[in-house]
Structure 1
Amino acid sequence: MNDRGRKWKRFKAAAAVLGVVLLAGAAGVTVHLYRQRKAQEAEIAARQHSLEEPEQFLAENVIEYGGKKYRRNSYVKAILCIGVDRSGLGEKTTTGFGGQSDGLFLLAQDTARNTVKILMIPRDTMTRITLTDLSGNVLGKDVQHLTLAYAYGDGRELSCEYTEEAVSELLGGLTIDHYMAVDTDSISVLNDGVGGVTVTIEEPGLATRDPELKLGETVTLKGKQAETFVRYRDIHQDNTALFRMDRHQQYMEGFFAALKTKAAEDDSILIRLLDSIQDHMVTDMQKDQYLKAALDVLNTQQLGSGDFYTLPGSGVTTARYDEFYVDQEAMIPVILDLFYREIE
């Protein structure tokens, strides 16, 4: 056998060995992925077993609870406000690229009394959401983090609708009248539009993002500082998204206080602010509807702690993620207080 023949034989032998190694490696990866998938399926099954589907009795116009009858207050509108963790909501996206809902707030707008109350909903709430494939085809529902409901849509209206549907089901079938989603850019636009928002820094970690945000300091937030204050969370600590909601409340109280001050000097401030975020929001409301909602917030005597509610429940930490589980029994009186009225 000549040299060329021997080289070719050695090449084939080496190729065969390499092929065996690659096949073994692929088999190992396949087994690993299979085991990982089965573990995830078992985890999902365990969650579904432990998390019963919420009873949808709040979908009814008249309900009985605690020996009393309640009717949905038609004057109180439920408006779901969604803070999306991406910049720009102008164009639709494919599944998984539209961002997640980093902040969720349900406004109870009393159109008769011209007041607003706010129900804060933890983003890590575990509930049933709609799942889709990468082409947007609906696969069904599964118990997942509520924040992901937005990600399975188109980054615009469909994402809002999936989130609205998930929140409605979570809240016992409560009808949600409207939604409004805003992107991260809107935070600094609105913040600077009222001349900045004054807050007190109560967490040491904020200074790692901005040295001016020192623990114990009172700061008037400008520009991107507002986004940092609202969105910062230490991912190395447990349940920081849950504790961050205290910061959300402080910021909203400060924002509306600043807005009231501005409005006393300039009665067109609200219109200008809303016009300034037109390219940063998605809503199913007409302009006159969300302007009325904003006016009702402005007309609330003083937006304070009594106007904020937090969905009752408990936060837990798993090997992978933080999770929040709603206390369904404790939730019902909160929803009745916000959206229903007692009848004879």
Structure 2
Amino acid sequence: MATMDIMDIIKEQKRKKFAFFLIGLLSVALCIGLVATYHKGKSTKVNKDSDYRHISYHGKSYKYNTSIISILLLGIDKTEKNPETENELGQSDAMGLLVFDRAKKQVKLISIPRDSITSIEKTDFDGESLGWEKDHINLAYAYGTDEKSGCMKAMRAVSKMMMDIPIARYGSMDLDSLKLLQDIVGTLQVKVPNDSLAKVNGMKKGDVVKITKENVETFVRTRDTDKDYSAQDRLARQQAYYEAFYAKIKVMLSDDFESTVAKLYGFVSRIVTNVSYQDIVTFGNMMLEYKYTSDQNYVLPGKNGKDSDYDAYYLDQSSLKDMIVKIYYE
């Protein structure tokens, strides 16, 4: 089912802004008094166990693997060609973390269900923060004042959701960019992971199909909005597409590194990202050397449910922590 209208949410919050301000002011004053009283004569040393660099989990101590670089990938559900959405940020319909582990020489993809319920920072029409509240993770981007701030809000929300792990880079692309992305690799051979497109275009589970710029949007985006939790089926197709894309880019880099890097940078320069030309060169060299297979694909663990009348995905916090420790800690 569709996620709630972001503009309706913001309008409702703006009406509550003054009340929030008064309550917040009183709360801050009370907290300052309590904290000052409690800490009078106390040490204010930071507890390193609460820092993401060093954690204690299930009675064991772990340290963060500083060899890891995480890139947040966002697919935004808007197009500049649509006059109804050209002045809106849109929502991050597809979300994932691309993880380069320089110590293990591995690449991992962590898919983030768009309906995951977690804390996101909400703002009013003026961009002023209303604090953090539980809501769908794909709305975090929509509360930005522009595309860059939307990426930053999504990045902070994902980091907060995942035990405050650092996310160094981000990249967001809208629907207009899909064909440009496909142009880099031309035709892709992709194995269909499920039957979610069988009634749309005949693609069935197990089929190996050709993906071109004419059908790439259908493959990675189409879902049955009348069916509950259909975004989950689409997420599996997105992972299958990424596997094929990565494999093709790796071959292209091996055949002609400089030309492939130039193509990638040409695409990157047209989207919203903080990835530089030198980053692409660095990541390109990693791709040539690092291992990436389907068993390196992850999905945040949880279960489907409802938030009012909307699809929701409730994270299994215990399993999520297990996954984060496995990937990010040593």
TM-score with structure 2 setting the length:
0.76
Unpaired runs of 5+ residues, structure 2, are 1-7, 17-47
* Aligned-pair CA distance for 1:230: 0.5
| Residue aligned with 1:130, SS | strand
Paired residue type of 1:60 = Y
- Residues 57 and 173 in structure 1, CA contact (< 8 A), matched pair in contact too: no
| Alignment partner of 1:77 out of 69, 81, 95 | 69
| Alignment partner of 2:297 out of 291, 308, 314 | 308
Classify 1:312/1:176 alpha carbon distance in 2 versus 1 (closer, same or farther; 3 Å). same
| Alignment partner of 2:95 out of 104, 107, 119 | 104
The residue aligned with 2:317 is 328
Paired residue type of 2:296 = D
**Partner Cα separation in structure 2 for residue 307 and residue 202 of structure 1:** 16
Classify 1:225/1:75 alpha carbon distance in 2 versus 1 (closer, same or farther; 3 Å). same
Classify 1:289/1:267 alpha carbon distance in 2 versus 1 (closer, same or farther; 3 Å). closer
**Partner Cα separation in structure 1 for residue 209 and residue 268 of structure 2:** 28
**Partner Cα separation in structure 1 for residue 156 and residue 316 of structure 2:** 19
**Partner Cα separation in structure 2 for residue 149 and residue 197 of structure 1:** 32
- Residues 79 and 177 in structure 1, CA contact (< 8 A), matched pair in contact too: yes
* Aligned-pair CA distance for 1:207: 5.9
* The structure with more radius of gyration: 1
| Residue aligned with 1:233, SS | coil
- Residues 80 and 106 in structure 1, CA contact (< 8 A), matched pair in contact too: yes
Classify 1:281/1:291 alpha carbon distance in 2 versus 1 (closer, same or farther; 3 Å). farther
Classify 1:79/1:57 alpha carbon distance in 2 versus 1 (closer, same or farther; 3 Å). farther
The residue aligned with 1:12 is none
Matched, 1:194 2:185: yes
1:214-257 Cα distance to aligned partner (Å, 9 max, x none): 67643211113112101111101111112221111111111122
* Aligned-pair CA distance for 1:200: 3.5
TM-score with structure 1 setting the length:
0.73
Paired residue type of 2:300 = L
**Partner Cα separation in structure 2 for residue 327 and residue 58 of structure 1:** 21
Classify 1:299/1:86 alpha carbon distance in 2 versus 1 (closer, same or farther; 3 Å). farther
- Residues 189 and 276 in structure 1, CA contact (< 8 A), matched pair in contact too: no
- Residues 184 and 264 in structure 2, CA contact (< 8 A), matched pair in contact too: no
Moved more, 265-274 or 308-317: 265-274
**Partner Cα separation in structure 2 for residue 250 and residue 275 of structure 1:** 23
**Partner Cα separation in structure 2 for residue 156 and residue 57 of structure 1:** 35
1:72-123 Cα distance to aligned partner (Å, 9 max, x none): 11111222111222236xxxx99x8111111111122123444311111111
| Alignment partner of 2:52 out of 26, 48, 60 | 60
Aligned ranges 1:1-344 → 2 under 5 Å: 59-87=51-79, 97-201=88-192, 206=197, 211=201, 213=203, 217-301=207-291, 303-318=292-307, 320-341=309-330
Task: Report % sequence identity.
Answer: 33
1:249-291 Cα distance to aligned partner (Å, 9 max, x none): 1111111222233333322343133223134322233321243
- Residues 189 and 277 in structure 1, CA contact (< 8 A), matched pair in contact too: yes
Unpaired runs of 5+ residues, structure 1, are 1-32, 42-55
**Partner Cα separation in structure 2 for residue 186 and residue 137 of structure 1:** 30
The residue aligned with 1:6 is none
Classify 1:247/1:136 alpha carbon distance in 2 versus 1 (closer, same or farther; 3 Å). same
